[in-house]
Structure 1
Amino acid sequence: EALVKDQEDSSSTVRVRDDKDSEWRDLVTFPYGEDGNLVEFCADEGKTCLMTSSVGRETSALLKVDLKTGETLDVISGNDKCDVGGIVLDDDTKEVKAISYNYARKELTFFDKDFEKDYEVLKSLGPDNCEVGTASKTEDEKTWIVAYTRSDGPTEYVIYDQEKKETKPLFVSKPDLLDYKFSPMEDVRIEARDGLELVGYLTKADTEKKTPLILLVHGGPWARDFWGFNAQAQWFANRGYATLQMNYRGSTGYGKNFLHKGDGEWGVGTMQHDLTDSVQWAIDEGIADAENICVFGGSYGGYATLAGLAFTPDVYKCGVDIVGPSNIKTLLDSIPPYWGPLRNDMLKKIGDVDADEEFNRKISPLYHVDNIKSPLLIGQGANDPRVKQAEADQIAFAMQKKGIPVEYVLYPDEGHGFARPDNRIDFNGRAELFLAKHLGGRAEAFDGVSGATAVFPLEESKVEV
């Protein structure tokens, strides 16, 4: 099969052919706003296939589809609150054995009783409060490699004897972590100001009293956070900060309505309100110290950081922006022509900043620098193809010119994020000192990393005041 993206209307079409010599033909088209794809051909001599689709539904479901007509023959499984996730098929018959859904935690719907019994056994043999996943199986399915995922420790892999219903340890993904105690992650539900339910993940630094809070905003924004071991959240907890990660509207996995509730809502709209409301929830619940809140994120999370400081300046004590755009129009103007479908899709979701200059100025933090009063730390890669260095330069220099506290670290050999370990450690060390200075948590002694390439544009350039 093949998937074709239309650059004009942002629709997607699944194409198939009957054999290698036949012409490709359209099977199903998903208009903009719909989600779906072909999963697998059924074992019935090319008559049907399995597809995911949100057409006619709020969330994507698993369907059986006629390969000649594209007609839906059967809705195999769906969930009203979240999209279909992982699909387990029998290798030979292609029959569905199980489907996973993830609203807040992974849940399995079983279609094979024996497979379900094996999972029940595996659950009983694993650590408390873990998620069970199958990494691989032998061809006869008598021996499995199973992963036990936890939020407060490394992933453990075991060998499962399917006939004896026994496991034996295989390895641990990061065995050095076994020597440490970590904070468990809780899945939480938060009601936004308009009544919409949001799923989030909370990692506490202290279970007895309120602490400073870091709102850790995921990138995308068309992505989501998941339950599990999160190195950043554990780092923050160790230093004395609770961490809240929210799947704000516009996040994926919760159906097309939830996704498109974020359309046109960047910065001053409901996407940012969801983050503000989540912080208020943490304050009201006695989790967060209202005077010590930091917003922290990369890519869209970096944009949300800038938006938080610019549009809700009284909420945050400080912010950390990693490769976040400050001007949405210049962000989209820097997208190369061969990314055309992506740019069109972004315009539909963000709003037409090409044609509406006033709207762009409304949602771009660069034009609201005067509102910012809390300190900001910026991290940027000079070779970032998605969010160009100019996005960091323009807001950093604008803040410096107006006397607003800002630190700007640039890595000449990095792109959209920090790939080199020395640079990652270097920025984390600087972020830790920044957080300790403004939120009061713990920090290790730090004086840079010898192999890092950090430069400091604000210190190297003179700015006219």
Structure 2
Amino acid sequence: MTMFRTLYGMLALCTLLLAPRTLPAQAAESLRTAEGTQRALPRAPRLPRTAFLENRTLVAAQLSPAGDAVAYLREKKDSRGLWLLPAGGGNARMLVGSTQADQLMWSRDGRWLFLRASRVLSIVGVDGRTGVRVPLGGTERRRVMKLDTSQPAAVLLGERVRAGTGERWRIVRMDARGQRTLLREDAHWIHDVALDAQGRIVALARFEGDHDALYRVRPDGTLREVLRLRPMDRLDLLGMQADGSLLMAGNPGGNFRRVMRLDANDRLQTLHQDPRGEADLDEVVIDPRTQQPLAASYRSTVAATYGIGDAQAVVADIARKLPDRDIGLQAGSGPYARWLVSERAPTLRDPRWYLYDPRNGNLRRILDDPGITANAPKEATLAPKIAIDYTASDGMRVHGFLLLPPGVDPARAPLVAQVHGGPINHFRAGYDGIAQFLANRGYVVFQSNFRGSTGHGRSYTFASNGDYGNGRVQQDIVEGVRWLLAQGIGDADRVGIVGHSFGGYSTLLGLTFQPELFKVGVAGAPPADLGWSMRWLVEAGDQGDLPDRSLRHTLQALSLDATDRATYTRLHAQSPLVNAGKLQRPLVIIAGGADRTVAIREVIHYTATLKALGRPLTLLVEPGGAHSPVDPIPREAYIFAMETMLQRHLGSPAPEPPGQRLRAYLRENLRLAGPEFAEFSSHQRRNPLLTDNSDAQE
């Protein structure tokens, strides 16, 4: 998630945790200013839980290549429609009344829209014509790669074809009427391609079996290797220039992801990178006509967007009009075409949308009718997200965020450490529904982008050295909490830990190995034995050895490949499962019954182990649920369970009573109810999953 400079600025707060030293005067003053400002504000009104379920009224919005129209997907009651808004003014009109699409792309000629859903690609004309529908996924593993900008209206598809007992991979061009053209067939999975003006593939990036590589494609189809990529190197091909150079985004040959050009002589040049030298490139804006880069955004620390080349003045003007905001940009074709601007912030649940006219500098709000903006919390009721950093006990600088509830004395408030999933992921500075929900309930929220997180450069990710058990990564989180307490932030007697997926695993670690610090935990979809979980993921999970990038090799690079006996033994020995007897603190676990990322059998086995030991525990399982809850009631149940658990053990006002549907859901799906949830379990039914260990992990 993204970062930007808030009213309070970035707090560059550095200290050694095990050997405390005085904070630099300026950083200490910034911290005191932020605390004082938040404490002096009136207490935010207590908002309903449902206010923090992120709004899906406006699903996606895209500017046409000419900048003369905005297409958007909008939820309305039980349907999702495709709408078209003229950029010059006038009313929007509906093109499609019902679609499951959640992404859309314009054709280069602006006459067609490609609507992508999880299982189908639909093509719709702006004049109301209906194009073809193409199934995605399936045995062909068909996927949409990108828009084909060499053609008036076409996309590139990646597909699998059987070849005897093996498989091969095709790149296919498909136009708006369904006409297919085979561009290349290869024995290797191709990540990305670049096309010349005639539509010929001139470069490709593919997986070679133990590494990725970038190739130039000769006119006869043969390949010439240009770059051999290191583990965790990422490369996106953005376009081909008239002089034969390739425009790219990625981190080959460097630490941070950036905008690059590979010239005709295969010399790699950096066109733009984070001026602060601490964040990866998050997004790059390309001119739809010239295919030149116009802007670059960095959101891992302080979110900022910079213009490139002739677009510098335009981007700077937009940024001045939306100060201290995270801006997302889409450009029309040509110097006088309109731009589509999204305004985002930690205190904005839903982005605000504008059209910017470079001819006069006018910034006009759009897509703001009550049906779209209804029920969004007012900004004054939400907590700003403050960027912090701290120095770990081994001297490494660790990044993170802090949310201080308005009108609350942080020294007297309970503190909750929220741990992100992945672990190859990171917290961003944008809106976070869980964090804002907790802050609204009076909790100080700490989000650590511990070493091993992404977004802060390749070396930061690899700094974990595979120590994802009860080791260095967990220590970053623990030391961050202790550092905050030492600065007078949070009540040391009321500290909790919450997280989902890897964050759930970290929650189990915290309650198991740091019970003197963490008094309660909420774990969503937690792997209780990371060694077993990583091995299962590779061998049986739906993120196993996928052709797009072998998970096994990624895990090997991160020293997390549990098919290696030494790695498995190390992670297993440090796991919450093996050390279940040490857990004494109250815990609630929330899981999906059909999770293909963290096996439900692993969650059930751990739960049964704790139950047999008589440990305090609640288990809530969504029948048929995947890795994260999607539907409204399971999502509300998730935060209700979190609020109930934290309130009982850290203190805060009692949760608002659940409605009839939520109460029924809890009664049906609480597989094990601790004392905090006794009212939803009038009788503790015998659950064979918790009393029979026949499905125990091997």
* TM-based fold match above 0.5: yes
Corresponding residue for residue 332 of structure 1: 534
Query: 5 Å matches for 1:173-192?
Result: 174-179=373-378, 181-192=381-392
Once the two structures are TM-superposed, the CA of residue 316 in structure 1 deviates from its matched residue by 0.4
Once the two structures are TM-superposed, the CA of residue 111 in structure 1 deviates from its matched residue by 2.7
Does structure 1 residue 403 correspond to structure 2 residue 608? Answer: no
Change (3 A) 1:415 1:426: same
Change (3 A) 1:65 1:391: same
Which of 413, 418, 434 aligns to 1:232? It is: 434
* Alpha-carbon distance in structure 2 between the residues aligned to 1:256 and 1:57: 8
Once the two structures are TM-superposed, the CA of residue 75 in structure 1 deviates from its matched residue by 2.7
| Residues 151-200 of structure 1 deviation map (CA, whole Å, 9 limit, x = unaligned) | 22242112222212112221346442254621211111122111211221
- Where 1:186 maps in the other structure, the secondary structure is strand
Corresponding residue for residue 208 of structure 1: 409
Once the two structures are TM-superposed, the CA of residue 150 in structure 1 deviates from its matched residue by 1.8
Q: Which has the larger radius of gyration?
A: 2
Query: 5 Å matches for 1:48-447?
Result: 48-66=245-263, 71-79=266-274, 80-113=277-310, 115-126=311-322, 128-137=323-332, 141-153=336-348, 154-172=350-368, 174-179=373-378, 181-205=381-405, 206-210=407-411, 211-335=413-537, 336=539, 339-340=544-545, 341-354=550-563, 355-356=565-566, 357-442=568-653, 443-446=655-658
- Where 1:437 maps in the other structure, the secondary structure is helix
2:246–2:263 Cα contact (<8 Å) kept: yes
Once the two structures are TM-superposed, the CA of residue 261 in structure 1 deviates from its matched residue by 0.9
* Alpha-carbon distance in structure 2 between the residues aligned to 1:394 and 1:18: 55
* Alpha-carbon distance in structure 2 between the residues aligned to 1:452 and 1:17: 56
| Residues 387-433 of structure 1 deviation map (CA, whole Å, 9 limit, x = unaligned) | 00022112211111112111011111201111121111122212211
Corresponding residue for residue 190 of structure 2: none
* Alpha-carbon distance in structure 2 between the residues aligned to 1:279 and 1:347: 30
Change (3 A) 1:134 1:150: same
- Where 1:94 maps in the other structure, the secondary structure is coil
* Alpha-carbon distance in structure 1 between the residues aligned to 2:416 and 2:647: 12
Which of 656, 669, 675 aligns to 1:455? It is: 669
* Alpha-carbon distance in structure 2 between the residues aligned to 1:219 and 1:309: 17
Change (3 A) 1:169 1:53: closer
CA RMSD of aligned residues (A): 2.6
Once the two structures are TM-superposed, the CA of residue 132 in structure 1 deviates from its matched residue by 2.0
Normalised by the length of structure 1, the TM-score is: 0.90
| Residues 237-267 of structure 1 deviation map (CA, whole Å, 9 limit, x = unaligned) | 1111111111111111211211111132112
- Where 2:282 maps in the other structure, the secondary structure is strand
* Alpha-carbon distance in structure 1 between the residues aligned to 2:292 and 2:621: 52
* Alpha-carbon distance in structure 2 between the residues aligned to 1:253 and 1:400: 39
Once the two structures are TM-superposed, the CA of residue 464 in structure 1 deviates from its matched residue by 9.1
1:221–1:300 Cα contact (<8 Å) kept: yes
Equivalent position amino acid for 2:656 in 1: E
| Residues 220-246 of structure 1 deviation map (CA, whole Å, 9 limit, x = unaligned) | 111111112221111111111111111
Change (3 A) 1:179 1:89: closer
Equivalent position amino acid for 1:188 in 2: I
| Residues 292-349 of structure 1 deviation map (CA, whole Å, 9 limit, x = unaligned) | 1111111111111111111222110111110110112321332246822113322442
More displaced 10-residue stretch of structure 1: 271-280 or 357-366:
357-366
* Alpha-carbon distance in structure 2 between the residues aligned to 1:145 and 1:358: 52
* Alpha-carbon distance in structure 2 between the residues aligned to 1:41 and 1:326: 47
1:33–1:260 Cα contact (<8 Å) kept: no
Change (3 A) 1:358 1:257: same
2:307–2:314 Cα contact (<8 Å) kept: no
Equivalent position amino acid for 1:397 in 2: A
1:144–1:159 Cα contact (<8 Å) kept: yes
Equivalent position amino acid for 1:122 in 2: I
5+ long unaligned stretches in structure 1: none
Equivalent position amino acid for 1:157 in 2: W
| Residues 51-88 of structure 1 deviation map (CA, whole Å, 9 limit, x = unaligned) | 34534423234332146x6x324332334423233222
- Where 2:367 maps in the other structure, the secondary structure is strand
2:515–2:584 Cα contact (<8 Å) kept: yes
Corresponding residue for residue 43 of structure 1: 242
* Alpha-carbon distance in structure 2 between the residues aligned to 1:137 and 1:110: 15
* Alpha-carbon distance in structure 1 between the residues aligned to 2:282 and 2:363: 26
Corresponding residue for residue 217 of structure 2: 17
More displaced 10-residue stretch of structure 1: 82-91 or 423-432:
82-91
* Alpha-carbon distance in structure 1 between the residues aligned to 2:292 and 2:334: 16
Change (3 A) 1:175 1:125: farther
Q: 1 or 2 for the larger relative contact order (CA 8 Å, sep ≥6)?
A: 2
State the number of aligned residues. 456
More displaced 10-residue stretch of structure 1: 341-350 or 416-425:
341-350
Once the two structures are TM-superposed, the CA of residue 384 in structure 1 deviates from its matched residue by 0.5
* Alpha-carbon distance in structure 1 between the residues aligned to 2:572 and 2:657: 41
Change (3 A) 1:219 1:158: same
Change (3 A) 1:24 1:185: same
* Alpha-carbon distance in structure 1 between the residues aligned to 2:530 and 2:670: 24
2:307–2:315 Cα contact (<8 Å) kept: no
1:98–1:109 Cα contact (<8 Å) kept: yes
Change (3 A) 1:141 1:192: farther
2:215–2:227 Cα contact (<8 Å) kept: yes
2:400–2:448 Cα contact (<8 Å) kept: yes
- Where 1:366 maps in the other structure, the secondary structure is coil
| Residues 339-380 of structure 1 deviation map (CA, whole Å, 9 limit, x = unaligned) | 221133224424453312531333321011122111111001
- Where 1:40 maps in the other structure, the secondary structure is strand
2:295–2:315 Cα contact (<8 Å) kept: no
- Where 1:294 maps in the other structure, the secondary structure is strand
Equivalent position amino acid for 1:313 in 2: P
Equivalent position amino acid for 2:544 in 1: W
* Alpha-carbon distance in structure 2 between the residues aligned to 1:417 and 1:36: 28
Change (3 A) 1:167 1:110: closer
* Alpha-carbon distance in structure 2 between the residues aligned to 1:60 and 1:226: 16
* Alpha-carbon distance in structure 2 between the residues aligned to 1:353 and 1:62: 35
1:15–1:28 Cα contact (<8 Å) kept: yes
Corresponding residue for residue 189 of structure 2: none
5+ long unaligned stretches in structure 2: 1-192, 194-203, 673-683, 694-698
Equivalent position amino acid for 1:401 in 2: A
Normalised by the length of structure 2, the TM-score is: 0.61
